[in-house]
Structure 1
Amino acid sequence: MKLRPSLALLLALAVTGAGVHAQSAADLAGDNAPRKYSTLPLTPTTTQAQAAQLSARFLTRFHYDAQPLDDAMSRKIYKAYLESLDGEKVFFTQADLAKFEPLRTQMDDAIWNQDLTGPFSMFNFYVQRAIERMTFARGLLAKGFDFTGNETYNYDRKNAAWPKDQAELDTLWRERTMNDWLRLKLAGKPDDEIRKTLDKRYAGYIDRVKQLDGEDAFQSFMNAYAESTDPHTDYLGPRAAENFDISMKLSLEGIGAVLQARDEYTAIREVVPAGPAAKSGKVHVGDRIVAIGEGETGPMVDVIGWRLDDVVKHIRGKKNTTVRLEILPADAGVDGKHEMISLVRQKVSIEEQAAKKKVIEVKDAGVTRKIGVIDLPSFYSDFGARREGDKDFKSATRDVAKLLTELKAEGVEAIVVDLRNNGGGSLAEANELTGLFIDQGPVVQVRDARGEVQVQGDDDPGMTWSGPLAVLVNRGSASASEIFAAAIQDYGRGLIIGQPTFGKGTVQNLVDLDRFTRNNSEKPQFGELKMTIQEFFRITGGSTQLRGVTPDIQFPKNGDEKDFGESTYDNALPWTQIQSADYKPVANLKAYLAPLQAKHDARTATAPGWKLMLDELAQYKKMRDNTTISLNFAQRQTERKEQDAIQADFRARHKAIDGDVDGQDDVASDDGLNANERSLKAELKQEKDAKKAADPQLEETAHILSDAVGLIKGDGKLAAEVLPYGGRYSSTSTAAAAAADKPQQAPAAH
C-alpha cells in the first residue's frame, strides 16, 4: 500500500523526517566545505535521462498491464506530475497552466529522447512560485489582519480549481495567512509573538524549498510516470531505494539514533537501544548535531541548516568505521558548550517496526482468560542476509513464530494477529506466516502478465498455533496483510475482525536499474523500479483487488474509505476472478459466528468505552466533512469553546473508564503550531501517552475470542467443527502443544 506522493512529502522530509536512518552511506573525506545546495534552475543529468528511458523500456514491456509510452500516457503523466507539484492548487494559476500546456503531450518524447528539460522546467517553476508565495505571506505579517469581517477560508482544495490569476492567488494566500494567524491568536498568543512565529515558519519553508535538488525533481517526475501505469508502481531514486531496503530488512549500519529537523538543527529524537549511540552513554534525546567528521582525523563539517537526509547520509556508513559528532547538548542554550563524541558504526536493528507481543486478560462472569496479541507492523524480510546464509536473518515469520512459542508458554488460550495499518511487504512472508496457522496447502494464487497462474502455499507439516485465532484488520491493512487474512478466512482457520481492508491485489518486484547499465561505480546512480508484475488471488479464485477482505465481524468504519483505499485510484486494475485452487477448509466458523456476533452486539451496546469510541468517531467525521472555516475571531472563538467542551467531556469519560493516565489532562486545544515548532520533549511525551491510551477495538477483539474459547470449551462437538484437528489444541506450553498438535514447524522453516 502507498499514498500518492507530493512535494509536501519532500518538504516534510526536511522538516520532520524521523528517520533513523535516511539515505545512502557516504564518505566525508574531501568534503570539508559547508554544504551548498543546487543552484536554481535545476537541470537534469545525463544519468537521470538514461534512467528515465531505461525505466520506460521496462514499464512498456514487462509491467503486468504494460501500456505504450505515447501521447495518451503523456497526458496521464502530465496530470499526475502537476498534482504532485501543486495538488492543493495554491501555487499555480490558470495562466501558468496555459504556459505548461504544450508539455501535456511531450512527456513521452522527453523520456524517449532523453531530454528532461520540460519536466524540470515545471519543477523549477514550482520552486519559484513556492518562494514567491511564502515571501508574499511574510509581507502580510507587518500590518496584521482584521478579524471582524465575514470572510471564510476553504482549506480543502483537492477538488478546487486553480486560481484564475495573480489577484485570485493573492486572495487565497491572504486567507491562508489569516488562518495561520487566527489559530495562534485563538491559542492566546500576542501579536508580536504570532508575527515572529509565522515569519520564522515561512522563512524556514523558503529555505527548505531552496534545498530541493535535481534528485527531488527527477524522483517526482518519474513517480508521476510510474504511478500513471498503476497506483503501486514506483520509481525509487538512490536515496529512496536505500530507505525502502532498510524498511524491508529492519536494519542498517550506523550509530542507532532517530533524527529529526528542529529549526536549523538536526536533533536526536530517539536513541535506539543497544546501538552505538546508546552504548556510548553520551548521546541523549534532544541533543543537536552541529558538525560531523569522518574517521578519527577527517575534517569536521558544519551541518547547521542542512537537509535532514544530507545529515543522515554522512552519519551512516560501513560497519566498524568511525564517525565523530560535535554535539550541542539538549539542556544547553545556543551558546552552550559543545561536546565531541566518537562512535564506531555497527549494524543496528530497528526493533520499533518488528513484531511484538502482549497478553490481555479478559474477565467475564468470574472467569479470566489470557488472550495473546501479536502486533505486526509489516511483512519484513532481509532478503540479502537470507541469500547469504545468515542464520539470524530478519524475518516477520521467524519473529512471529518465536512470539507464538513464548505466548503458549505463558498459557494464552487464543491469539489475535493485529494487522491494522500493516501496508504489506514481502509476498513470501505472507505465504510463510500463514503456514504457522495451517497444516499444509495453498495460500495464494499469482497470475503474471502472460496469464499463467502459479499456486504458492505451505508445504511444511504442522502448525505453530492451532488454537482459536482472530486477525484484526482495518482500511490500512493492505497487500500481504490481505493475502494472510484472506487465506485464514478461506480455510476457516480464524475470525477476521475489524473494517474492510484496502483492496490492493497486485504484486510488485524490485528492478535494480544499475544492473542493466555500464555503471562501474559502487555507488548506485540509476535507482530502482518497484514495478507491478503480477496479480494475486485468493485460493477461492476471487481477487482482493478493489474489494479487499470483508471481516466476519465488522467494526464501525471511520469514513475514510471515500479518500483512502484502492477504489479511490482512477487507474486501479479491475476486480477479476480465476479458478479456485485445490484446497479444503479446516473448520467451519459459521457454526459459532452468530452467537459471537450476538454477544459482541450486546456487549458493545452498553460498553462505555465502545460508546465513547463511537462518539469520538462521529465528531471526527463531522469535523472532517467541514472544510470551510470562518476568519471571524468572535465566531471562531465561540466554535473553539464548543470544541473544547466536547473534548473536555471526552477526556472526563476516558478518565472514568481508564482511570488516571499520564497526559490525559494535558491534551490541549489547537495551539496553532506546526509539529516541528513544538518542544521535542513535549511532543515525545504526547506520543508516549498516546500509546498508553485504551484501544477499544483490540479489547473487544480479545473479548470476542474469549467468548469463542468459552463456547468451544462448553461444547466438544462445536470445538470439533470450528477448530482444526477435531478441536484438540493446547495453550499451556510448547511441550503440551507438541503432544496435542501435529509436529510444530521450526521457526527457521519460515
Structure 2
Amino acid sequence: MNTLIQYMKRNYKLVLATLVLSLGLFAFTTALKPKGDPEKDKMLLELLTFVIERGHYDPAVIDDQFSKGIYKDYIEALDPSKRFFIQSDIDEFAKYETQLDDQIKNKDLSFFNLTYERLMKRIDESKSFYKDILAQPFDYSVKEEFNTDYEKLPYAKNATELKDKWRKQIKLSTLSSLTDKLKMQEDLKNGIKPEEKSKEKTTEKKAEEKPEAPKSFEQLEKETRESSLKSLNEYFDFIGDLDQNDWFSVYVNAIATRFDPHTNYFPPDEKERFDVSMSGKLEGIGARLQKKNDYTEISELISGGPAWRGKELEAGDIIIKVAQGNAEPVEVVGMHLDDVVKKIKGPKGTEVRLTVKKVDGTIKIISIIRDIVEIEETYAKSSVVEKNGIKYGIIYLPKFYIDFENNDSRDAGKDVAIEVDRLKKEGVQGIIMDLRDNGGGSLKTVVDIAGLFIEDGPVVQIKSAGRKQEVLYDRDKKIQWDGPLVVMQNSFSASASEIFAAAIQDYRRGIVIGSKQSYGKGTVQNVIDLNQFVRGSSVGDLGALKTTTQKFYRINGGSTQLEGVSSDVAIPDRYAYLKMGERDIDNAMPWDKIEPAQFKFWDKQNNFDVAIDKSKRRVLENPKFKLIDENAQWIDQRNKENVYSLNIDQFKAEQKAIEEKSKKYKSIADYKNSLAFSSLAEEKELMKTDASLKEKRERWHESLSKDIYVEEAINILDDLQPKTLDKKEVKIKKDKLVKS
C-alpha cells in the first residue's frame, strides 16, 4: 500500500487523461499465447481491486449493485449487436448477475469461463449462417424491415430466429451497397460524372481509367453478396485470431469501468499503444476512432492530417467499409476497432477509400491519401485578422501539452506566451483562445496560460480522497495580455480546457462562447504499471491501469464534472441535441461543490455585459444560426430512426428523401464570413522555405474564413473595444454639458 501511495505522489500530475482516450471503454490485445493462464487472470483480478480500492478517488462498493453493472457492460461488450447469444444463454448467464462481486473477491473465474466457452460455440455456429444466406440472391421486392436499435431489441429465442436476424442484417448491408451501385450507374447513363476518387492521382493514372460498361441488376446484386461474404470471412478470421486473454481483457475492463468511465485496464500491447499515442506522432489518415456498439465512429480529426485537409470526413461519421485504393471495399461493421485501424493505416502516399455514413444519414465514399501526421500540428498556433480597421488575433490550442520528463520539449504554457507576444507585436486589439475539440492535458499548463491573462491568483482547485483541497495559483503578477479576450469552446472541449474556460469566466476576464456547455470531465487520471507490485513473478507482463485519483474544481467552488462550463453566449451547433457528454454516461462521477477560493473579479472591461447581450441578440436573429439549429434537431431525429425498409423501392425512396432534406442544409458548409486571416511575421519567414507549413496554414486560414463561430467571436471583440464616439454622439454630450 505504501508503495502505491508513494508511486501516486510521484506521478499523479503526469497524466490528465484526454477525452479521446477516455471515450473508448473496451480494448483488445493481439494474441499472447494460445490459452489463458488462470493464475495470471486471478492475479490480475486481485491487483485490479487492490489498486483501485486504495488509489481511486471514490471507489465504488463492490456489491450486488456493482455486480449488476459489470454484468450488463460485459454482456453488451461481448455481443453488442445481439447476433451470437440466444435468450436461453442470457437466462443461464443471468443467474450470475448479482454474484460477480463475490467471484471477484474470491478470484473465481467460473462466470468468465462459462461466457467465453458459450461465445466461442455461438461464433462457430454463426459461420454457417452467413454463408448459407449469401449463397442465394436476395428478394428485394419483399416488404420487410430491420431495426438496428440493438440495445432495445430482444435476443433471438432460438437458432432459427437468430439466423433470420443475420439474414436481415446482411440484407440491409447489401441493399445499401446495391442502391449505391445502381445510382452510380444511373448517373453515368444521364451523363453525370462521378466525383474523382482522389485529387492526388496522377495524370497517367487518370488516362488509364476506362469507363465501366453498364451491368445488369443481377450482376450488381451478385457483386454485393460477394463483397459481403468477403468482409464477413475476414471478420470471422479476425475473431478466430483472438485468444482467451483477449476476451479476458474485455471482462477486466467491464469491472474497471464500473468504478468510473475513465478507469481502464491496459493489457500489455494496449499500454504500448497508449505510450506511443502520448508521444504525439500519428500515422495514417489523421483521425481518431471509437467503437459505438457494432460500429466504428470518427471521434476526432487531427489538425493538419490528410482527413482534415480533405475536408470530407468529420466527427460523428460512421465507417461502414474500407478499401485499399481501387480494391474491393471490405465491410467493417462488427469488426474490432484495432482491426479497423489496421485496415485504415498504411504507408505514406497510398490511398484508402472509406465508405461512411454521415451524421445526416447519407452514405458517401471518401478517398484519402495516407500521410504522416506530425506532432507540430498538435501545438499552439495563431493568426491575425482585421475588421473595421482593427487587428485581432486568434490562438488555436488543440491540447494542454507538456513533457515532464524533458524540460527542453515543447510546452503549451511557453508556446502560448510566445504567440501572445507575437500577436502584440502585430498590434492586435483583442485575442481569441480557441479551445474547441481540446480534450485536455496538463493542469500545470492551464495555470501557466491562465496566468498570462490575469494579474495573479487561484486558477484551479484539486481534491484528493480524504484530503483538503489544494489550490493551484498563478503567482506571477505580470499580465501578458490585459486587452479584450474571448474563449471558444464546444461540447468536445474537456478536462483541462474546461478549467481554463471556467477560470476566465469566474474572473469575468473574458467571454466564453460556443456550445451550450462543454464535455463535463472534472477528474484526473493516473496510469499505474501493475508489474511493480509483483516483481519476480513468472506470469509475464500484467499491463497497466488508468484510474481516477482526483477531482478538480473551479475557483468558485463548483465542479466541472457532468455540468461542464456553460457558455456566456450559447451558439447552436450540429451536435447540440446528441448525447455525447460525460452527463450521458450512466456511471459517471457526480457533480459536487467545495468552498470557493479567494479571488478578485477583473474590473478593466467596462462593456462586458453589453457585449454578451449584443452577441446573444445577433445569434438569435442570425438566419444561418437558425438553420444550424434546425439541422441539429434533424440530425437528432435521424439518429433516433433505426428502422430500415428491406424493400428496394421503399429503401430508395427513404434514402432519396434523406438526400433531398440534407440539401436544405448544404449552405451551412458553403458559408463564408468574408474575413481574411494571415500568418504572423515569424511564420511568414518560415513559410518561404517550408511548403508544407505554408499549405497547412493556408488551409487553416481558409477554414477560419468559413467559420461562422469565429466570426461571432470577432464581433464580440469588436464590441469589447473602448467606445469611440462619433461626431453626432460628441455633439449630444456637449449639449448635455451646456444644459447642466
**Fold match by TM threshold 0.5:** yes
Q: Given the superposition, is the C-alpha separation of residues 106 and 182 from structure 1 closer, same or farther in structure 2, using an over 3 Å criterion?
A: same
| 3-state secondary structure, aligned to 1:384 | coil
Q: Given the superposition, is the C-alpha separation of residues 361 and 584 from structure 1 closer, same or farther in structure 2, using an over 3 Å criterion?
A: same
State the 1:513 CA deviation. 1.6
Q: Given the superposition, is the C-alpha separation of residues 311 and 73 from structure 1 closer, same or farther in structure 2, using an over 3 Å criterion?
A: closer
Pick the aligned partner of 1:432 from 448, 457, 461. Answer: 448
| 3-state secondary structure, aligned to 2:471 | strand
State the 1:219 CA deviation. 2.7
Deviations along 1:190-246, whole A, 9 cap, x unmatched? 112212211111112112222334453233222211111122211222223233333
1:461 is aligned to 2:477: yes
1:517 is aligned to 2:510: no
| 3-state secondary structure, aligned to 1:511 | strand
TM-score (norm 1): 0.69
State the 1:547 CA deviation. 1.5
1:495 is aligned to 2:519: no
Distance, in Å, in 1 between the alignment partners of 2:716 and 2:470 is 34
Letter in 1 for 2:135: A
Contact 2:71/2:97, CA 8 A, preserved across alignment: yes
Contact 2:571/2:619, CA 8 A, preserved across alignment: no
1:377 is aligned to 2:420: no
Letter in 2 for 1:423: G
Contact 2:577/2:632, CA 8 A, preserved across alignment: no
Number of the residue aligned with 2:12: none
Number of the residue aligned with 1:140: 133
TM-score (norm 2): 0.70
The answer for unaligned runs of 5 or more in structure 1 is 11-22, 24-34, 262-268, 274-284, 289-305, 314-324, 333-347, 660-684, 716-750
Pick the aligned partner of 1:620 from 629, 635, 638. Answer: 635
Distance, in Å, in 1 between the alignment partners of 2:526 and 2:262 is 11
Q: Given the superposition, is the C-alpha separation of residues 354 and 3 from structure 1 closer, same or farther in structure 2, using an over 3 Å criterion?
A: closer
1:93 is aligned to 2:93: no
Distance, in Å, in 2 between the alignment partners of 1:695 and 1:520 is 58
State the 1:135 CA deviation. 4.5
Deviations along 1:19-60, whole A, 9 cap, x unmatched? xxxx9xxxxxxxxxxx98854xx5245334323211211222
Distance, in Å, in 2 between the alignment partners of 1:287 and 1:646 is 31
Contact 1:362/1:369, CA 8 A, preserved across alignment: yes
Deviations along 1:418-441, whole A, 9 cap, x unmatched? 222222232333233322322211
Q: Given the superposition, is the C-alpha separation of residues 399 and 242 from structure 1 closer, same or farther in structure 2, using an over 3 Å criterion?
A: farther
Pick the aligned partner of 1:122 from 115, 121, 125. Answer: 115
Q: Given the superposition, is the C-alpha separation of residues 173 and 641 from structure 1 closer, same or farther in structure 2, using an over 3 Å criterion?
A: same
Distance, in Å, in 1 between the alignment partners of 2:23 and 2:336 is 22
Give the 5 Å matches for 1:255-654: 330=350, 350-351=374-375, 354-359=378-383, 361-363=385-387, 367-385=388-406, 390-391=407-408, 393-499=409-515, 500-519=517-536, 525-556=541-572, 558=574, 563-587=579-603, 591-599=607-615, 601-602=617-618, 605-606=621-622, 609-651=624-666, 654=669
State the 1:158 CA deviation. 2.4
Number of the residue aligned with 2:46: 53
Q: Given the superposition, is the C-alpha separation of residues 421 and 656 from structure 1 closer, same or farther in structure 2, using an over 3 Å criterion?
A: closer
Identity %: 34
Distance, in Å, in 1 between the alignment partners of 2:431 and 2:286 is 35
Pick the aligned partner of 1:699 from 690, 710, 720. Answer: 710
| 3-state secondary structure, aligned to 2:393 | strand
State the 1:362 CA deviation. 5.0
Q: Given the superposition, is the C-alpha separation of residues 693 and 456 from structure 1 closer, same or farther in structure 2, using an over 3 Å criterion?
A: closer
Letter in 2 for 1:525: D
Indicate the RMSD between aligned Cα atoms, in angstroms: 4.2
Letter in 2 for 1:241: K
| 3-state secondary structure, aligned to 1:209 | helix
Pick the aligned partner of 1:159 from 147, 152, 155. Answer: 152
Number of the residue aligned with 1:207: 237
Number of the residue aligned with 2:682: none
Contact 1:511/1:529, CA 8 A, preserved across alignment: yes
| 3-state secondary structure, aligned to 2:498 | helix
Give the 5 Å matches for 1:236-255: 236-250=266-280
Contact 2:431/2:486, CA 8 A, preserved across alignment: yes
The answer for unaligned runs of 5 or more in structure 2 is 1-18, 183-219, 289-300, 306-322, 327-334, 353-371, 675-695, 727-740
Contact 2:673/2:706, CA 8 A, preserved across alignment: no
Q: Given the superposition, is the C-alpha separation of residues 490 and 87 from structure 1 closer, same or farther in structure 2, using an over 3 Å criterion?
A: same
Distance, in Å, in 2 between the alignment partners of 1:308 and 1:592 is 47
| 3-state secondary structure, aligned to 1:444 | strand
Letter in 2 for 1:153: F
State the 1:404 CA deviation. 2.7
Distance, in Å, in 2 between the alignment partners of 1:700 and 1:148 is 51
| 3-state secondary structure, aligned to 2:431 | strand
Number of the residue aligned with 2:167: 174
Contact 1:369/1:706, CA 8 A, preserved across alignment: no
Distance, in Å, in 2 between the alignment partners of 1:704 and 1:601 is 12
1:103 is aligned to 2:96: yes
State the 1:508 CA deviation. 1.8
Distance, in Å, in 1 between the alignment partners of 2:351 and 2:495 is 45
Number of the residue aligned with 1:663: none
Distance, in Å, in 1 between the alignment partners of 2:505 and 2:583 is 22
State the 1:98 CA deviation. 2.0
1:218 is aligned to 2:251: no
